[in-house]
Amino acid sequence: MTKKAVVFSSGLGKTRKIATYVAKGLKADVFDLKKQTVINLSEYSHIIFGTGIHAGKPYGALVKFLENNKSQLSGKKTSLFLSCKLNDEKGEAQLKKVSGELGISDGFFFHGKGEKNDEGMEKSVDDFIKEMQRR
Ligand SMILES: Cc1cc2nc3c(=O)[nH]c(=O)nc-3n(C[C@H](O)[C@H](O)[C@H](O)COP(=O)(O)O)c2cc1C
């Protein structure tokens, strides 16, 4: 089985909430870049990155982590989720731009306005977990 890790950068806590929920759903390990900036990813084959967005930009801690860890990430599967407010075409355009900047093409975004499940989490996050299980 593919061992997965979720690595995230959160400011006000929304990305943290999603990352923790996703990690639980995938039985993945979760790393908060606010607490830890050096992470040994050797045992993982699929890394899922999460970040909030300010002024169209992903959080600096994630940008820095990706820059500093190119060699340990090479050859691994990577996916990305954004916790943001933009939806529809603007959200898609923002995702495309941020995915390109970060070099992670497998990208998704959660705008917080979708239907929620019983745990108060957007249902699209459950779909994301299922999608990540297939990777
Ligand atoms: C100052 C500020 C700027 C923001 N800029 C954007 C933006 O450009 N695009 C967007 O989609 N969301 C934007 N947002 C919304 C945040 O990305 C969103 O609330 C996200 O869930 C925050 O994640 P966090 O709680 O993990 O920090 C902004 C929020 C704040 C407070």
pLDDT surpassing 60 at residue 80: yes
User: Is any ligand 1 atom within 6 A of the Cβ of residue 13?
Assistant: yes
Average pLDDT value for the chain: 96
Residues 84-120: tens digit of each pLDDT: 999 999 999 999 999 999 999 999 999 999 999 999 9
Q: Are 41 and 76 in contact (CB under 8 A)?
A: yes
Residue that is written with structure tokens 């989490």 in the block: 121
Domain ranges of the chain: 4-134
Could you tell me the distance, in angstroms and rounded to a whole number, from the CA of residue 124 to the centre of ligand 1? 18
pLDDT surpassing 70 at residue 1: no
Q: How far apart are CA 66 and CA 49, in angstroms?
A: 10
Q: Are 123 and 131 in contact (CB under 8 A)?
A: no
pLDDT surpassing 60 at residue 22: yes
Atom of ligand 1 nearest to the CA of 55: 8
Superfamily of domain 4-134: Flavodoxin domain (3.40.50.360)
And the tokens for 126? 């459950």
Mean pLDDT of 40-52: 97
Q: Are 38 and 80 in contact (CB under 8 A)?
A: no
User: Is any ligand 1 atom within 6 A of the Cβ of residue 17?
Assistant: no
Q: How far apart are CA 131 and CA 117, in angstroms?
A: 17
Q: Specify the pLDDT at position 94.
A: 98
